[in-house]
A and B are shown apart, each in its own frame.
Chain A
Amino acid sequence: MRTVMLLLALAMLPGCASQVAAKRQRAPERAARFADGAAARPAAVLAAESVALADPDNEDATSDRSVVYEADYQILVPSAREAGARFLEHAKTLGGRLSSRSLSRVEVRVPAARFQALLEFLPGLGRVVAESVRATDVTDTVTDLRLRLQTARTSHTRLLSLLDKTSNVEEILAVEKEIRRLIGEIEQLEGQLKNLSEQVAYSRVAVAFRNLKNTTSGSPAARGPSRFWWINRVGVESFDD
């Protein structure tokens, strides 16, 4: 009866798992082993769990909202290669890092606090023809992940205590199975939380550079010439002829 109740209780726990020791280890040794495994969480994950990021514009430095900032730009430039290099160099000076790069597209991640500074740099590279800036509030998701993680850890601790107290082989096997599942879930939640917190901490900025061939926005070639021919012969564009 005791075994059945124990299994029912285990089934109700938000589970997870890791590695299990030898079946016939003494209970205290097993408990210590599982406890060590759970304590070996990466420092980055622990830091991620407590991350509280400020708004990039610093409008509310005390805000504990978790926001993911992303931007996609298209810029007309004289030289896509040169502009891409300048963009990447500036992003690095702001503490950013390269995510991906092709001939005409560069994607970087910069600290969220420098996101706005990087966007303000972009018009200096050329003519911005398209821009998309998004701010996604992930506070609820982060909170949910933290709660689930906390619950899983609490269950893990309880199971370790239970393991200390039991001597029945079947019960030990059942508890260890649940502990394995529980540790797996903890690791998964930690991974999700780490990934999300990195997205919050480092904003993504992607820029597609397009070479322009001596065209000015809305030039007669693009928007139709004036009906007066002499007007088509004046202007900045006409100096290229």
Chain B
Amino acid sequence: MTRATAILVCTAVLSCGTGCLHLDVPRDFLVVSSWTDAFEVPPAAHIAAVAADEAQLRVSSFRDDWDGNLDYWYQALEHDLVDRRGYTLLQRADRQDAKGLSGREMVFSVTHAGISKKYLVCVFDAGQRIRVVELTAAAEVFDRHLEAVQAAIATLR
């Protein structure tokens, strides 16, 4: 093993401690994709799950290239979804992850591909990373998943 390879492996292993994602996915969902890119610094991560009624749950971890704080990202996200994409904000709430980190949740309605949908997004500022939990489903089935997903957000770590 070359010295460079060893450094890369060590970096990946060490950094996974801050990059890996975990969420207790609600029972109605099956995880269809889960990965961690330990070679991105800091590591990127992703969990995708789907319910039988095609509700989709996703957890993502993005690199914060701009060092924004929670208030900033929350407002930027709301601005983009409402003012640029035409979403309608239905409700908002404060959340906490498993480690007590503060997050902001918003629920929107939007018509996409001719289908009336609802969309939940909860954003956390985890230092160098932005963590985002999303739920989208047809409007008529969204509410049946909402409570379980909100409970799952509290298990994010």
**Residues of A participating in the B interface, judged by any CB pair closer than 8 Å:** 76-78, 83, 125-127, 212, 214-220, 223-224, 226, 228-231, 233-237, 239-240
Contact = CB atoms under 8 A, between A and B. Distances in A.
A219 B121 contact: no
B112 interface: yes
Interface residues of B, number: 29
Nearest to B119: A236
B84 A78 contact: no
A228 B76 contact: yes
Most chain A beta-carbon neighbours within 10 Å: one of B81, B112, B119: B112
B115 A234 contact: no
B114 A218 contact: no
Given A78-B114, A231-B76, A236-B136, A218 B84 contact: yes
A78 B113 contact: yes
Contacts of A215: 113
A216 B66 contact: no
Contacts of A76: 114
Nearest to A128: B111
Contacts of B111: 126-127, 216-217
14 contacts: A78-B114, A125-B114, A126-B114, A215-B113, A216-B86, A216-B112, A217-B85, A220-B85, A223-B84, A228-B80, A233-B62, A235-B87, A236-B119, A236-B136
Given A219-B85, A230-B62, A234-B77, A212 B114 contact: yes
Contacts of A78: 113-115
